[in-house]
């Protein structure tokens, strides 16, 4: 909701015209920032994975797979 407030978009306007999300610079910047944060988290987890025990590495591997799938989906939807 904070991003919508900053973008001066109300829920009513968004309901009537969902394309506002793609055309509003503040919203697209927020999406890009979130994707960048996800990438940084993934890179951090990858760098720390080697020193972990088997169970932790397995958990991190599946977590990173989820991050990768979510980032891919978001990029396909928002940045294409």
42, 47, 49, 46: which is closest to 68 by C-alpha? 42
pTM for this one? 0.70
Angle at 6 between CA 21 and CA 26, to 5 degrees: 45
Q: Could you give phi then psi for residue 31, rounded to 5 degrees?
A: -65, -45
Between CA 76 and CA 80 the distance in angstroms is: 6
Which percentage of the chain shows pLDDT scores above 70?
98
Q: Give me the pLDDT at residue 40, please.
A: 92
Neighbours of 27 (CB within 10 A): 19
Q: Would you state the pLDDT for residue 29?
A: 87
The predicted-structure confidence for 15-51, as pLDDT tens digits, reads as follows 888 887 788 888 888 888 888 998 898 899 889 888 8
pLDDT at 80: 65
Q: How many residues appear in the chain?
A: 80
Question: Looking at the predicted structure, is the pLDDT value of residue 1 above 80?
Answer: no
């Amino acid at each position: 909701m904070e991003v919508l407030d900053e973008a001066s978009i109300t829920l009513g306007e968004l309901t009537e015209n969902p394309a506002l999300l793609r055309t509003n610079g503040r919203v697209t910047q927020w999406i890009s920032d979130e994707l960048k944060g996800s990438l940084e988290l993934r890179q951090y987890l990858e760098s720390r994975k080697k020193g972990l025990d088997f169970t932790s590495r397995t958990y991190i591997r599946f977590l990173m797979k989820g991050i990768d799938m979510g980032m891919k989906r978001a990029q396909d939807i928002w940045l294409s």
